[in-house]
Structure 1
Amino acid sequence: MDRYIALNAEQHQQLGWHGIDSLKFAAKTDTAPVLLEELPHLIPTMPVAFLELPSTDTAPARFEAVALLSLIPEHNLFVAPNGRWMGGYLPAALRAYPFRLLPRKDKEGLALCFDQTSGLLTDQPTEEQRFFKPDGEPSDKLNALLGFMQQCEAGRARTRQAVSLLAKHNLIKPWSLKLATEKGQNAQIKGIYRVDEAALNSLSAEALKELQEGQALALAYGQMLSQQRIKGFQKLYQLHTKLEEHAQSVSEEDVAEYFEGKDDTLSFNF
């Protein structure tokens, strides 16, 4: 069974979906792609970094801007054991679940697809839960979601262009990170990259102008400013351990300690 089904009125007229009430689906997500538009919301909350994506049959190797959600593989420190999001701002890449825009198999363009393994598909939807109206047009709720995802897709193209400019000027370098484990050892984290500040400061005025015009300069400074959030990962890890050991629900005080008492509850509209 394919995980994602491309939605269409002919096949899915009578179907719909349940809204999510938990972020447990993202509990093993340790990075999330980010958009330029999200930077002001991400910087106070979580570190931004770069990952190197391998080449494929259709695309060369490239870097991708991501939010770091953990330094522990498949362990999202921002999702509490009870599924609550602890990070204030929820990255756009996680907000469209269980939907994705994927390439169409039979023609060009992207299709709105649904993760049928999510457990959220229903064949007895309420009027509000339906994918499509009786006339076959997308429901208002589905239309709003599609509009959000299309804007994200446009933002993703701009972000990729900005990242490519940073790579063009050799500004993306390996980021050496270590994490203290329960045994007191330092685990070396590999495969993460950041902006080389010294290399950025040595660029010519012409190169800086190119970066500014392509929004890459904002991305570079945003990534560097966000690096301070790494120091809070150890607190989040300890909080997770506490919650798991004692089966506790996360409290506002526990979360505030990570965010240094600041109110980081943010909304973000494209």
Structure 2
Amino acid sequence: MIYERAVPISSERHREWSVKMGTSYGFAQNVNSVPLLAAEFLSAAQDYAIVFAGDDKTVFPSVILGMRENENGHVNAAGAWTGGYIPAFLRRYPFVFARSDDGQTFTLCIDEEFEGFNKDGRGERMFDADGNRTQFLTNMLTFTREYQALFERTQMFGDRLLKHGLLQPAQAQFTLPGGQTASLAGFFTVDRAKLKELPADVLAEMARTDELELCYVHLQSLNNLTPMARRIAEAAAPSIRDEAAQTPAEAGV
């Protein structure tokens, strides 16, 4: 989604490189949704709508960030994050694990196209002068390893929803500045009625694993869709008015 050239990290290749993270999210300007871990539901549900993306074979939770395809309403023109909670998928960037063909080995990689990846000493060094990992790189390795473990646990949650037929196709409709309409489709939501009809033993197991709570947090988060659309539309309105106020010469006509 956001990675352009992820390569394995090595002291031979990256000893002189530094990484400056957390100051610009320009890399996420063109994504209107990103994967969300189950462990993030409570934090993300305060600001965003949580849905499920995928097909009838595999699904994964996602958080909606924009009203139109290829548009993130929570990153401004300067690349600053203007929303609330920042999903871990974005916070771990430019780092990511690559899985071996047999699925047994993971290698920490970095996207060398990341704008904060530099040889100017900006941010944090990944290796010291002797080629040893810095504390920063060790922390990112730990964070990425924990992310991967939580990712796999979240996949199990999605598999259970599919197994019990709890998901239904859904779409959202928005009214944009100027009266235009837009819609988002291609995602799933939990069917509340089917959830209530589950056998007692399945409900008990989902309650024990906190998956039942996740279902209701997801359903409650859908109430954020309309307020989110309103905030994004209001933020876009000034630029639209500015464009409308241009003279023909200013507009290039």
| TM-score, normalization by structure 2 | 0.85
Query: Which structure 2 segments of 5+ residues have no match?
Result: 243-253
The code of the aligned residue for 2:160 comes to L
- Pick from 144, 164, 175 the counterpart of residue 149 of structure 1: 144
Percent identity over the alignment is 25
- Pick from 134, 145, 164 the counterpart of residue 139 of structure 1: 134
Aligned pairs (5 A) from 1:1-270: 3-52=5-54, 61-104=57-100, 108-125=104-121, 129-182=124-177, 184=179, 186-245=181-240
Range moving further from structure 2, 80-89 or 97-106 = 97-106
Structure 1 residue 125: Cα displacement: 2.5
CA contact (8 A) 2:169 2:187 kept: yes
Q: Separation in 1 of the partners of 2:241 and 2:108?
A: 41
What are the Cα deviations for residues 215-266 of structure 1, in whole angstroms up to 9, with x where unaligned? 321221111011110011321232331353478xxxxxxxxxxxxxxxxxxx
CA contact (8 A) 2:67 2:182 kept: no
The code of the aligned residue for 1:45 comes to D
Structure 1 residue 77: Cα displacement: 1.1
CA contact (8 A) 1:30 1:69 kept: yes
Where does structure 1 differ by over 3 angstroms across 4 or more consecutive aligned residues? Answer: 104-108, 181-188, 243-247
The code of the aligned residue for 1:34 comes to L
Q: Separation in 2 of the partners of 1:107 and 1:214?
A: 26
Count, aligned residues: 239
CA contact (8 A) 1:178 1:186 kept: yes
CA contact (8 A) 1:6 1:113 kept: yes
Query: Which structure 1 segments of 5+ residues have no match?
Result: 55-60, 248-270
Q: Separation in 1 of the partners of 2:134 and 2:232?
A: 41
What are the Cα deviations for residues 18-64 of structure 1, in whole angstroms up to 9, with x where unaligned? 3342222111111111111111111111000001158xxxxxx4111
SS at match of 2:157: helix
Q: Separation in 2 of the partners of 1:147 and 1:120?
A: 20
What are the Cα deviations for residues 86-139 of structure 1, in whole angstroms up to 9, with x where unaligned? 22211111001221112247994121111111232223436x622112333211
CA contact (8 A) 2:25 2:79 kept: yes
CA contact (8 A) 1:46 1:229 kept: yes
Q: Separation in 2 of the partners of 1:107 and 1:125?
A: 35
CA contact (8 A) 1:162 1:211 kept: no
Q: Separation in 1 of the partners of 2:240 and 2:171?
A: 31
Range moving further from structure 2, 237-246 or 107-116 = 237-246
Q: Separation in 2 of the partners of 1:238 and 1:187?
A: 12
RMSD in angstroms over aligned alpha carbons?
2.3
